[in-house]
């Protein structure tokens, strides 16, 4: 039996996938509301295919609880934020989860940590916890790091088809965990040591952050000299070895906007490029505001209360708002004591911020200037309703409307 600890955006799909493919699973989360929702047949967030996967898992063998279970395998998928001052990982959730597992587990158990951690986190924080409980690592407890590698909005597909990395202290422990993941993963599963697995996951997201930062910095350069960044990128990408990304209003989510900080925090003298990329991407919400002010001045507009933000989530067609550029932008406005803009997002059904609308038509009726922050499919289906509005399309998603770009 497998006890999956943490039933959020990573843990729940993983637990459901394991159960749907013949594994006996118990999902644990300290949030009683989440557990109650799952027990009552309701998935607490939106994700393509997750309701069908839930039904398949329920038809086999999965239960949900707020308690830790005595079993022989644990998969820990709790959050791993960073500390704002030092940029180092905040291991609080990992420490709490491992401590709770150690209170109930028996000798011989495998503890697999899926949460993304900075290199050395398991050596520094997890091993001592286990040893202080009197367990001998490699004999009584087998420790593994199997970092997740899935994207909100396409989680179910990627759980099946993305390759996986398993870091383990011994080949035997690695193979044991690999056999579990092979029940649903159809791609290559690589076994390595734990520190390499830790570093690999952080490096993957840092690579992506740096490439995004290049596109965003290029946008600023082109804007300063009245050049069309999209045309420049289109032409440059015709080179067989060039693949520049499109710019955007910032970077959100719990991977690309977080993981590079782990490296900056742990290697402060060696991460100059990574730090610059982070600052570049974090500066984009403020750059969006600068563009808004410029466009308003050009159009003779003065009333910020007639400006609206379309999109609260960090990416298209998901309800995940973690580290979203829109929230970062609104926070910047608070810092300058500026009034908040009106907000609408078709994927977010609970009130997250002030001036948030639940009806698109009502939102449009209150604004003259729309800033498209997220390229939800919804906006494409309702593009005709934007007629007559001033628009800043930060995602270059609109096809049939006269717009301003970054």
The full set of domain ranges for the chain reads: 2-195, 202-282, 284-393
Is CATH 3.40.228.10 what the domain over 2-195 is classified as, yes or no? no
* Side-chain half-sphere exposure of 184, counting CA atoms within 13 A: 22
- DSSP notation for 95-155: HHHHHHHHHH--TTEEEEE-S---TTHIIIIIHHHHHHTTPPBTTTEEEEE------TTSH
- Beta pairing class for 109-113 and 25-28: unpaired
Active site (annotated) includes residue 255:
yes
Q: Residue 245 in contact with residue 218, Cβ under 8 Å? A: no
2-195 matches 202-282 in fold: no
pLDDT at 198: 97
> What's the pTM value of the predicted model, to 2 decimals?
0.93
* Catalytic option among 105, 185, 222, 255: 255
What pLDDT was estimated at residue 371?
98
Picking from 201, 192, 188, the residue whose alpha carbon sits closest to that of residue 174 is 192
Contacts of 22 (CB under 8 A, 6+ apart): 60, 183
pLDDT (tens place) for every residue of the chain, 406 residues total: 999 999 999 999 999 999 999 999 999 999 999 999 999 999 999 899 999 999 999 999 999 999 999 999 999 999 999 898 888 999 999 999 999 999 999 999 999 999 999 999 999 999 999 999 999 999 999 999 999 998 888 999 999 999 999 999 999 999 999 999 999 999 999 999 999 999 999 999 999 999 999 999 999 999 999 999 999 999 999 999 999 999 999 999 989 999 999 999 999 999 999 999 999 999 999 999 999 999 999 999 999 999 999 999 999 999 999 999 999 999 999 887 777 899 999 999 999 999 999 999 999 999 999 999 999 999 999 999 999 999 999 999 999 888 999 9
Euclidean distance between CA atoms 369 and 373, whole angstroms? 13
Domain 202-282 has CATH 1.10.1040.10: yes
CATH architecture of structural domain 284-393: 3-Layer(aba) Sandwich (3.40)
Do 230 and 200 contact (CB within 8 A), yes or no? no
Q: Is 105 a catalytic residue?
A: no
Which of 87, 176, 201, 315 does the annotation list as catalytic?
A: 201
């Amino acid at each position: 039996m497998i006890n999956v600890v943490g039933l959020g955006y990573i843990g729940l799909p993983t637990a459901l996938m394991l159960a749907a493919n013949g594994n006996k699973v118990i999902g644990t989360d300290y949030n009683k509301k989440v557990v109650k929702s799952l027990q009552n047949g309701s998935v607490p967030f939106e994700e393509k295919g997750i309701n069908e996967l839930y039904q398949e898992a329920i038809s086999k063998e999965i239960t949900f609880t707020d308690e830790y279970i005595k079993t022989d395998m644990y998969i820990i998928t709790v959050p791993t934020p960073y500390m704002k001052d030092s940029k180092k990982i905040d291991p609080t959730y990992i420490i709490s989860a491992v401590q709770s597992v150690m209170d109930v587990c028996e000798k011989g158990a495998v503890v697999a940590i899926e949460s993304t951690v900075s290199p050395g986190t398991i050596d520094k924080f997890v091993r001592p916890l286990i040893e202080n409980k009197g367990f001998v690592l490699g004999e009584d407890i087998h420790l593994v790091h199997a970092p997740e590698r899935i994207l909100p909005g396409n989680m179910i597909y990627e759980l099946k088809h993305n390759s996986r990395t398993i870091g383990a202290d011994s080949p035997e422990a690695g193979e044991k965990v690999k056999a579990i993941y092979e029940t649903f993963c159809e791609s290559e599963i690589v076994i390595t040591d734990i520190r390499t697995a830790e570093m690999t996951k952080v490096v993957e997201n840092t690579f992506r952050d740096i490439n995004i930062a290049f596109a965003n910095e290029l946008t600023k350069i082109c804007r300063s000299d009245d050049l069309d960044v999209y045309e420049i990128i289109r032409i440059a990408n015709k080179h067989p070895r060039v693949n520049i990304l499109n710019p955007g209003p910032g970077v959100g989510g719990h991977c690309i906007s977080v993981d590079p900080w782990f490296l900056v925090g742990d290697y402060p003298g060696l991460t100059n490029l990574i730090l610059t990329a982070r600052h570049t991407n974090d500066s984009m919400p403020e750059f969006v505001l600068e563009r808004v002010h410029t466009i308003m001045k050009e159009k003779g507009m003065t009333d910020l209360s007639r400006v609206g933000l379309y999109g609260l989530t960090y990416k298209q067609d998901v309800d995940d708002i973690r580290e979203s550029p829109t929230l970062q932008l609104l926070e910047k406005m608070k810092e300058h004591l500026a009034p908040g803009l009106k907000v609408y997002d078709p994927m977010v059904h609970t009130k997250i911020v002030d001036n948030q609308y639940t009806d698109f038509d009502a939102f449009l009726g209150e604004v003259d200037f729309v800033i498209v922050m997220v390229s939800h499919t919804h906006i494409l289906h309702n593009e005709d309703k934007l007629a007559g509005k001033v628009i800043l399309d930060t995602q270059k998603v609109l096809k049939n409307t006269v717009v301003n770009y970054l």
